[in-house]
Structure 1
Amino acid sequence: MPGTISTEQALIYIMVTMSGVEGRIETTELAEIGHIVKHLPVFRNFDHTRLTTVAQEAGEILQEPEGLNAVLGLAAAALPPKLRETAYALAVEVASSDLAVGREELRFLAILRDKLGLDKLVTSALERSAIARYHTA
């Protein structure tokens, strides 16, 4: 397990963790992660060809005993305060991308909110924003 990770790795670790929290990774969630990494300014300096490698690193850590705590600890240490809300928003985007947010995903969001020290009103607003974006006609 790496001692430290980059900001971009931390964001990817969080998205991969969200994607796998229900025990399977949906194709729509993987596609959303790829889209996010390719298009958001926070990933501007990230080598997009490393996405698969970084995602696999996260998966390997998650397989270890206390893997979830390890991933969250690495991510929290790597994220500056101004990007903690971004991390939460990206987790919400991944959870919402398959148009169904399950109990495990909601639990992970609560754990992530607490680990990153985010305000409940802020996280509720981020969640509500995703709901509005993913409504279907």
Structure 2
Amino acid sequence: MDHAVRRSLAITTTSSASARTVDISTTGARTGRARRIEIWFYRVDGEIYLTTHPARRSWYANLLANPEFTFHLKNGARADLAATAEPVLDTDKRRHIFLAIVDDLNQPLHRGYLSQPVQPVANWVSGSPLMHVTFH
């Protein structure tokens, strides 16, 4: 991985919304068709995660069925990174990760970009999709 890509992935709580915005291309769980969406990614303990506010998400179902996907950097560096997603199911690990994510989202820098208030950590742990990303 080149320096610009590593720098783009090294977001912190002070990183802007655009710095953490990527596209992901998944394979549809039912259709087998390519799907591309825009999503924020998060960095916790040096690892990359995908999640959203508590809800059922088609991208999560797609990654459960077909964990190989493409992580498209589009801010800072531009790169299409081959990746694998793995669901984070352990409750203690989920709580640890979501504590960091909710803390990140509660930074004043992000409040203007959020369409709804940040829900309590317990809601995230019980109702949010959470994927750990590994790059090839």
State TM-score, norm by structure 1.
0.31
State TM-score, norm by structure 2.
0.31
Greater share of helix: 1
Relative contact order (C-alpha < 8 Å, sep 6+): which is higher?
1
Greater share of strand: 2
